[in-house]
Amino acid sequence: MVSGSLSVLARAVAMAERAVPGARRQALTLTETAADRIRQLLDMRQKPFLRLGVKARGCNGLSYTLNYADEKGKFDELVEDKGVRVLIDPKALMHVVGTKMDFVEDRLKSEFIFINPNSKGECGCGESFMT
């Protein structure tokens, strides 16, 4: 299953590279607010990486996961943006390529949000998506 996912991923990366010759589309970009919050969280936990993944759950099939990581996995995609390092799980990469990660905070909640160009739909509460 992993090799099948990797071949799909390789085709997706090749298509992105052909669309913009000489440039590879960044897997994930961070807003300043998201980078600041990730930096705070990593400093508090004394961890070098935050790992982004997706999990099969929710009304629309997939949900984002965020975990702390001590080291980069063999097939993890490393994104270094605005001074922080985020790992993307290889199974999640094809679902999140081109996504912008932001952090919003108001009087009721604080959360990371994902502006994902691959998303074909989200549930009403915004907790899950499909690609």
What's the mean pLDDT in 88-98? 90
Statement: residue 22 has pLDDT above 80: no
| CA triple 49-62-65, angle to 5 deg | 20
Q: Is the pLDDT assigned to residue 14 strictly greater than 80?
A: no
Report whether pLDDT(43) > 50: yes
Does the predicted model carry a pTM greater than 0.85? Answer: no
- Mean pLDDT for 40-60 is 88
Determine the pLDDT at residue 96.
Answer: 84
pLDDT of residue 1: 46
Task: Write down the pLDDT at residue 39.
Answer: 97
Confidence category of residue 100, pLDDT binned at 50, 70, 90: very high
CA dihedral sign, ordered 93, 97, 100, 105:
negative
